[in-house]
Amino acid sequence: MKLERDFYTRDTLIVAKELLGKLLVRNSPDGIVKGKIVEVEAYIGSIDKACHAYNDLRSKRTEIMYKNGGHAYVFMIYGMYSCMNVVTNKENLGEAVLIRALEPIDGIELMKKRRNTEKIKNLTNGPGKLCKALDITKDLSGADLCSDTLYIEDYETISEENIISSKRINIDYAEEAKDFLWRFTIKDNPFISQKINI
DNA sequence: GTGAAGATTAACT
DNA sequence: GTTAATCTTCACA
């Protein structure tokens, strides 16, 4: 069952945790691909130096994050990779959840082809990788997650004791914001992107 | 096993 | 001109 707009327009940290265990579905011309979300990070513009929308900074790129929840915010990083976020909460706040890792569920052959590897574990265990496996590019930035090309489906609900909170990754420039425990992973899932260090 | 370098684009100063 | 919410490859232990 596809998630409704109501799911996304709540508090970002709650949505981030509840996204764990859900299915990210990508319906492309080549076929359909599904993956279970096993790792996410929250970004909250108003208090988070690592967030592109920190300090109410609006630009062409961050404009998407100020929409109301349920849209996709995709940006290009380090020249070659894309990262996908789910915009959360109400309009004009600049909050989003970064999808960091998936567990491949459906369309695995297609993912292998796009990623050019045979190792399942290596297909989607990182933000840049999963975007390539799902053919997500900045063209999809601003896409509505209540549409049919890209959406999230109900699947599993992860209970509180199976969610691990830890520091976010690769945002050392963010000063005190780098210590926020806004990275959420499913306990003992082999498809998370990196070792947890608290 | 670890570590460091390089790739390459969009957006900001 | 600089730099980024990353990944792959190559060197060395």
Q: What is the pLDDT of residue A172?
A: 83
Chain A span 18-57 residues with beta carbon within 7 Å of strand B: 57
Chain A span 155-174 residues with beta carbon within 7 Å of strand C: 169-171, 173-174
Measured CA A160 to C1' C4 distance, in angstroms: 33
Residue A46: C-alpha distances to residues A51, A54, A95, A124, A156 (Å): 9, 6, 8, 30, 31
Tokens of residue A115, six digits: 């990623």
Q: What is the pLDDT of residue A193?
A: 83
pTM for the model stands at 0.94
Summarised one tens digit per residue, pLDDT across range A16-52 is 999 999 999 999 999 999 999 999 999 999 999 999 9
Residue A76, CB, strand B, below 7 Å: yes
Q: How confident is the model at residue A91 (pLDDT cuts 50, 70, 90)?
A: very high
Summarised one tens digit per residue, pLDDT across range A114-164 is 999 999 999 999 999 999 999 999 999 999 999 999 999 999 999 999 999
Separation CA A102–CA A129 (nearest Å) = 10
| Rg of chain A in Å (alpha carbons) | 15
Measured CA A52 to C1' C13 distance, in angstroms: 40
Contact present, A97 and A19 (Cβ < 8 Å): yes
Question: Tokens 């909170």 appear where?
Answer: A165
